[in-house]
């Protein structure tokens, strides 16, 4: 069993990645990447079967997800215009629903995270998301798809690739447990109360902090959803509850055993005036979102969706100490790497 | 002293004299001692805040308390000026305001202000548009960039004192000033010691309801055209290559909800930073301060209509916005850490603002003039004068912590604010 948050100096979560050649030659890296390969095959199968179209997203654009938690964007000189590398595909995901009702893709995202998150063992500057968006769907439907998708991928590994788990020394019991049981749902205020009971000073108006997620995650045997994050803690596109406007109709999916968040999702704002107002609440200048706002103004479908962090998912299923072990060429916050 | 910097309508000569000659300017000229009779009339007050008088009582239980504690009669030098300003410790209830991107803030003045603010241990704001206008990381190490100012500050600030607060306004969000800074190794010593803050700029005293405005030359103009609205003024030919352009930025749209959620998002995104908010002197300032405080802002600055180092339309300079004194009266019940700026330069006005509820006062124009007068010592001398006056005024009402000043200590003559 892992002892997250209690690392020794030799722990890879603290030591960081070795040179690329050594990392790629490491049998554990190879097993983890092979596992990831099978996870993606299973994920694509599941979504394709469910009627989703794999629609590949752009890498650069005039704006990208303004992001949260202090990560900065990468500027690209695009013929003299300042463009951005995608921090997430959210704007294009919503826009893509004007072509197909159900889309997914596996997209690279880049977020220059504050160096302080280097120690979370969970953050990568460059990472991939298995992104999913469903038109005319609510949060519950998106959560249902996310749960089904994760179960399908885990089941596939257990059924066909358990040798990889053995090679990685992964205890398979927690994985076997989840495939047949519903994932618990924990509204944010309940999570905050639970943390306060454990003397963790979680701000009730903010995102669950990284150490707090680990704390919660250690207490669960199954993946679990945290829902209803407070307005002001997430991106402008997470839809606010009309009945209770300070609550967002969103969710995170957290892996158990101390691994923490592997996915974020939400019902989306899609009505023009609301989107513009919410953009202002995040301090953004709507002018730079012109292409997106034009599309929203002329009408995009209501939707819900989510993104699963591919490396985080792999790390959890493989039982790795750190997320960087689940990628071939890891880039950690604040660490310059190829 | 530069030939460039002037502050019409501001007590420029008095500030320069303090920056040059220090604490002796708190008193009449020494050579007049014993030969001149004083006390016949005060200068005409510039506004309602200046028109207030500090009114000491004859009976002072507070002084008795201090006497008991000290075991001797207290002196004005016993007054404790140490103040928590929005999460930062300062030896005096004074912070240095942001100077913005206006031309007067360049030419090394801002750098000199950074160094001197640091030596004093005063919290310092770095203004909006610094990054998008002057460049985030100035390869040539020209004074005036954000990082340069922070480095200069860090070089001199005493341990445990002061802090740097970086503003961002709506247009600055394009340059992601806060995100850039939060990950920059230069600021790590500030973050590690809890001395970095971010200030959401809702507006400024000189131009209530308007966004930033500066004059830029045509070369800068072409660089800035994508981000700002640029216009020529009537009477300037379009092909006049030397003419300046007016660069206008959007003031940004705020409602109570937008302000509340922007503050919450700042706290969510930058948990290692203090969260400050700067308001222009709007007629709903009390509601805005209440919203900011409830959303968790560590400090709210109210910039009175007398404030602002910047370039503004004369109609705004003369006719728009509430005076600082009126704002403070409207905010008398706020539990927020309220900071006041607007025409601050000496101890009496500062004492009055503090008595009306401000935790500390900001030096803007006065700080610029002081460092313009003496780039090495000007601000230090000016602040020492102000501190000495604050000690004398506070002790005169029988109090020995500056934060204990209260409206009871003031008398309001029958003049409009």
Does residue A147 form part of some domain? yes
Least confident of A13-22, B43-52, B250-259: A13-22
pLDDT band at A6 (very low <50, low <70, confident <90, very high): very low
Does residue A333 form part of some domain? no
Instruction: Select from B284, B277, B319, B283 the least CA-distant residue to B302.
Output: B277
pLDDT value at position A9? Answer: 38
pLDDT band at B206 (very low <50, low <70, confident <90, very high): confident
The minimum CA-CA distance between A270 and chain B, rounded to whole Å, is: 18
Give the relative orientation of helices B365-373 and B12-21 as an angle to the nearest 10 degrees.
50
Instruction: Give the Å distances, CA to CA, from A44 to A106, A303, A309, A316, B326.
Output: 9, 20, 15, 19, 64
pLDDT value at position A69? Answer: 72
CA B257-B191-A236 angle, to 5 degrees, is: 25
pLDDT value at position A334? Answer: 84
Nearest CA in chain B to A279: B258
Three-state DSSP state, A284: coil
B211 burial (CB, 10 Å; 0-12 / 13-18 / 19+) is: buried
Least confident of A8-12, A61-65, A174-178, B282-286: A8-12
Residue B168, both tokens? 């961002």
DSSP B322-379: --HHHHHHHTTT--S-EEEESS--SHHHHHHHHHTT-SEEEESHHHHHHHHH-TTTHH
With residues binned 3-state (H G I as helix, E B as strand, rest as coil), the percentages for chain A, rounded to 5, are 40, 20, 40
pLDDT value at position B234? Answer: 62
- Check CB contact under 8 Å for A82 and B267: no
- Check CB contact under 8 Å for A283 and B265: yes
Q: Is B222 an interface residue toward A (CB < 8 Å)? A: no
Using CA atoms, how far apart are residues A26 and A37, in angstroms rounded to an integer? Answer: 17
Q: Is B170 an interface residue toward A (CB < 8 Å)? A: yes
Residue A14, number of CB atoms within 10 A of its CB: 14
What is the average per-residue pLDDT within A110-126? 86
pLDDT value at position A174? Answer: 95
B9 has a pLDDT exceeding 90: no
pLDDT value at position A8? Answer: 40
B136 has a pLDDT exceeding 50: no
B110 has a pLDDT exceeding 80: yes
Task: State how beta strands A102-110 and A126-135 pair.
Answer: antiparallel
pLDDT value at position B4? Answer: 61
Least confident of A128-132, A247-251, A328-332, B185-189: B185-189
Task: Using CB atoms, pick whichever of A72, A284, A288 lies closest to residue B183.
Answer: A72
Nearest CA in chain A to B257: A281
Residues of A in contact with B182 (CB under 8 A): 70, 72, 114
Q: Is A334 an interface residue toward B (CB < 8 Å)? A: yes
A230 has a pLDDT exceeding 90: yes
pLDDT band at B323 (very low <50, low <70, confident <90, very high): very high
Q: Is A281 an interface residue toward B (CB < 8 Å)? A: yes
CA A260-A262-A266 angle, to 5 degrees, is: 115
Instruction: Select from A116, A283, A211 the least CA-distant residue to B272.
Output: A116
Using CA atoms, how far apart are residues A315 and B86, in angstroms rounded to an integer? Answer: 41
Using CA atoms, how far apart are residues A227 and A234, in angstroms rounded to an integer? Answer: 12
* Residues 248-267, chain B, touching A (beta carbon < 8 A): 250, 252-254, 257-258, 260-267
Interface with A, mutate which of B265, B270, B292 (most A CBs under 10 A): B265
pLDDT value at position B309? Answer: 54
pLDDT value at position A2? Answer: 34
B37 has a pLDDT exceeding 60: yes
Residues of A in contact with B211 (CB under 8 A): none
pLDDT band at A104 (very low <50, low <70, confident <90, very high): very high
Q: How is residue B80 annotated by DSSP?
A: B
- Check CB contact under 8 Å for A114 and B183: yes
Question: Comparing B287 with A66, which gets the higher pLDDT?
Answer: B287
What is the average per-residue pLDDT within A72-81? 89
Instruction: Select from B17, B8, B19 the least CA-distant residue to B368.
Output: B19
pLDDT value at position B307? Answer: 63
B129 has a pLDDT exceeding 60: no
Interface with B, mutate which of A64, A67, A70, A234 (most B CBs under 10 A): A70
- Check CB contact under 8 Å for B268 and A69: yes
- Check CB contact under 8 Å for B269 and A68: yes
* Residues 60-89, chain A, touching B (beta carbon < 8 A): 66-73, 81-82
Residue B275, both tokens? 């969260």
Three-state DSSP state, A200: coil
Does residue A8 form part of some domain? no
Question: Comparing B135 with A334, which gets the higher pLDDT?
Answer: A334
Does residue A238 form part of some domain? yes
Using CA atoms, how far apart are residues B110 and B300, in angstroms rounded to an integer? Answer: 23
Residues of B in contact with A71 (CB under 8 A): 179, 183
CA A39-A44-A48 angle, to 5 degrees, is: 150
A178 has a pLDDT exceeding 70: yes
B139 has a pLDDT exceeding 50: no
Are A224 and A264 in contact by the 8 Å Cβ rule? The answer is no
Q: Is A256 an interface residue toward B (CB < 8 Å)? A: no
Most confident stretch, A100-104, B142-146, B248-252: A100-104
- Check CB contact under 8 Å for B183 and A281: no
Q: Is B21 an interface residue toward A (CB < 8 Å)? A: no
Question: Comparing A227 with B315, which gets the higher pLDDT?
Answer: A227
- Check CB contact under 8 Å for A70 and B176: no
What is the average per-residue pLDDT within A119-130? 90
B223 has a pLDDT exceeding 70: no
**Run of H or E residues at B384:** helix B378-396
CB pairs under 8 A between A and B: 98
Domain assignment of residue A147, given as a range: 17-326
Q: Which residues pair with B278 in a beta bridge?
A: B201, B301
Does residue A241 form part of some domain? yes
- Check CB contact under 8 Å for A285 and B171: yes
pLDDT value at position A31? Answer: 98
The minimum CA-CA distance between B131 and chain A, rounded to whole Å, is: 14
Interface with B, mutate which of A280, A331, A333, A336 (most B CBs under 10 A): A280
Residues 6+ apart with CB under 8 A from B401: B79, B80, B394
Q: How many CA atoms lie within 13 A of B238 on its CB side?
A: 0
Whole-complex ipTM? 0.81
Annotate B246-272 with b (16+ C-beta within 10 A) or e (fewer).
Answer: bbbbbbbebeebbbbbbbbbbbbbbbe
Domains in chain B, CATH or no CATH each: 76-212+253-411 (3.20.20.70), 214-248 (no CATH)
Using CA atoms, how far apart are residues B333 and B322, in angstroms rounded to an integer? Answer: 18
Does residue A112 form part of some domain? yes
Q: How is residue B91 annotated by DSSP?
A: S
Are A106 and A59 in contact by the 8 Å Cβ rule? The answer is no
The structural domain count of chain A equals 1
What is the average per-residue pLDDT within A56-72? 87
Does residue A115 form part of some domain? yes
Task: Using CB atoms, pick whichever of A68, A232, A288 lies closest to residue B174.
Answer: A288
* Mean of the per-residue pLDDT values of chain B: 86
Does residue A1 form part of some domain? no
* Mean of the per-residue pLDDT values of chain A: 92
Using CA atoms, how far apart are residues A11 and A6, in angstroms rounded to an integer? Answer: 9
pLDDT value at position A285? Answer: 82
- Check CB contact under 8 Å for B264 and A209: no
pLDDT band at A229 (very low <50, low <70, confident <90, very high): very high
B140 has a pLDDT exceeding 60: no
pLDDT band at B219 (very low <50, low <70, confident <90, very high): low
Most confident stretch, A238-247, A282-291, B232-241: A238-247
Annotate B328-340 with b (16+ C-beta within 10 A) or e (fewer).
Answer: bbbbeebebbbbb
Using CA atoms, how far apart are residues B209 and B207, in angstroms rounded to an integer? Answer: 6
Instruction: Select from A169, A134, A100 the least CA-distant residue to A267.
Output: A134
Residues 6+ apart with CB under 8 A from A45: A152
B365 has a pLDDT exceeding 70: yes
What is the average per-residue pLDDT within B271-275? 94
A296 has a pLDDT exceeding 80: yes
pLDDT value at position B324? Answer: 94
A4 has a pLDDT exceeding 70: no
What is the average per-residue pLDDT within B361-383? 96
Q: For position A113, which CATH number holds?
A: 3.30.930.10
Residues of B in contact with A205 (CB under 8 A): 264, 267-268, 295-296
Residues of A in contact with B270 (CB under 8 A): 70
What is the average per-residue pLDDT within B233-253? 69
Using CA atoms, how far apart are residues A239 and A26, in angstroms rounded to an integer? Answer: 43
pLDDT value at position B230? Answer: 73
Q: In chain A, which ranges are E strands?
A: 53-54, 60-61, 75-78, 81-85, 102-110, 126-135, 185-187, 224-227, 250-255, 260-267, 303-309
Task: Using CB atoms, pick whichever of A114, A205, A231 lies closest to residue B182.
Answer: A114
- Check CB contact under 8 Å for A282 and B261: yes
């Amino acid at each position: 069993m892992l002892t997250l948050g209690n690392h020794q100096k030799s722990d890879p979560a603290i030591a960081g990645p070795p040179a690329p050649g050594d990392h790629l030659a490491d049998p554990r890296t190879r097993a983890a990447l092979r596992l990831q390969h099978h996870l993606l095959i299973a994920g694509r199968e599941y979504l394709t079967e469910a009627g989703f179209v794999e629609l590949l997203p752009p890498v650069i654009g005039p704006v990208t997800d303004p992001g949260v938690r202090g990560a900065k964007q990468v500027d690209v000189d695009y013929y003299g215009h300042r463009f951005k590398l995608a921090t997430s595909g959210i704007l294009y995901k919503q826009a893509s629903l004007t072509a197909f009702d159900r889309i997914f893709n596996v997209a690279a995202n880049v977020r220059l995270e504050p160096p302080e998150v280097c120690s979370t063992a969970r953050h990568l500057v460059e990472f991939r998301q298995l992104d999913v968006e469903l038109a005319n769907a609510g949060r519950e439907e998106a959560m249902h798809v996310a749960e089904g998708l994760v179960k399908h991928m885990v089941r596939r590994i257990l059924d066909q690739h358990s040798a990889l788990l053995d090679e990685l020394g992964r205890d398979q019991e927690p994985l076997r447990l989840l495939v047949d049981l519903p994932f618990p749902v924990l509204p944010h205020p309940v999570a905050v109360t639970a943390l306060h009971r454990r003397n963790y000073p979680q701000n009730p108006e903010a995102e669950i902090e990284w150490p707090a997620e680990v704390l919660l995650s250690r207490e669960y045997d199954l993946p679990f959803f945290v829902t209803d994050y407070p307005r002001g803690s997430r991106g402008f596109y997470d839809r606010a509850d009309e009945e209770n406007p300070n609550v967002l109709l969103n969710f995170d999916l957290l892996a158990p055993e101390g691994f923490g968040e592997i996915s974020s999702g939400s019902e989306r704002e899609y009505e023009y005036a609301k989107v513009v107002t919410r953009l202002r609440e995040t301090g953004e200048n709507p002018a730079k979102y012109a292409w997106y706002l034009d599309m929203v103004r002329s009408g995009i479908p209501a939707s819900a969706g989510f993104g699963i962090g591919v490396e985080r998912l792999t790390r959890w299923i493989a039982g790795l100490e750190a997320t960087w072990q689940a990628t071939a060429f890891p880039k950690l916050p604040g660490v310059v790497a190829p | 002293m530069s030939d460039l910097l002037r502050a019409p309508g501001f007590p420029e000569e008095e500030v320069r004299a303090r920056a040059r000659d220090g604490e002796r300017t708190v008193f009449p000229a020494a050579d007049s001692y014993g030969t001149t009779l004083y006390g016949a009339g005060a200068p005409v007050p510039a506004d309602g805040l200046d028109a207030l008088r500090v009114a000491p009582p004859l009976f002072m239980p507070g002084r008795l308390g201090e006497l008991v504690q000290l075991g001797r009669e207290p002196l004005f030098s016993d007054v404790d000026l140490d103040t928590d300003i929005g999460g930062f410790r300062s030896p005096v209830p004074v912070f240095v305001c942001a100077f913005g991107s206006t031309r007067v803030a360049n030419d090394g003045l801002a750098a000199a202000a950074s160094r001197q603010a640091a030596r004093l241990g005063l919290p310092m704001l770095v203004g909006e548009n610094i990054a998008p206008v002057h460049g985030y990381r100035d390869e040539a190490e020209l004074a005036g960039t954000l990082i340069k100012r922070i480095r200069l500050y860090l070089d001199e600030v005493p341990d445990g004192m002061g802090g740097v607060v970086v503003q961002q306004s709506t247009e600055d969000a394009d340059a992601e000033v806060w995100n850039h800074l939060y990950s920059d190794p230069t600021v790590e010593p500030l973050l590690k010691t809890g001395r970095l803050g971010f200030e959401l700029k809702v507006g400024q005293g000189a131009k209530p309801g308007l966004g930033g405005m500066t004059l830029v030359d045509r070369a800068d103009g072409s660089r800035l055209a994508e981000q700002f609205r640029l216009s020529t003024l009537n009477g300037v030919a379009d092909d006049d290559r030397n003419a300046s352009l007016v660069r206008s930025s959007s003031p940004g749209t705020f409602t109570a909800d937008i302000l509340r959620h922007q503050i919450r998002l700042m706290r969510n995104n930058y948990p290692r930073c203090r969260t400050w908010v700067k308001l222009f002197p709007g007629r709903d300032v009390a509601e805005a301060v209440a919203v900011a405080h409830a959303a968790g802002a560590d400090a709210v600055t109210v910039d009175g209509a007398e404030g602002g180092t910047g370039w503004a339309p004369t109609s705004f300079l003369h006719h728009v916005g509430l005076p600082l004194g009126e704002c403070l009266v409207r905010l008398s019940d706020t539990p927020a850490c309220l900071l006041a700026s607007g025409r601050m330069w000496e101890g009496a006005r500062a004492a009055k603002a503090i008595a009306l509820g401000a935790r500390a006062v900001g030096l803007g124009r006065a700080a610029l003039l002081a460092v313009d007068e003496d780039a090495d010592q000007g601000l230090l001398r000016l602040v020492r004068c102000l501190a000495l006056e604050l000690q004398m005024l506070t002790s005169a009402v029988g109090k020995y912590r500056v934060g204990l000043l209260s409206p009871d200590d003031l008398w309001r003559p029958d003049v409009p604010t």
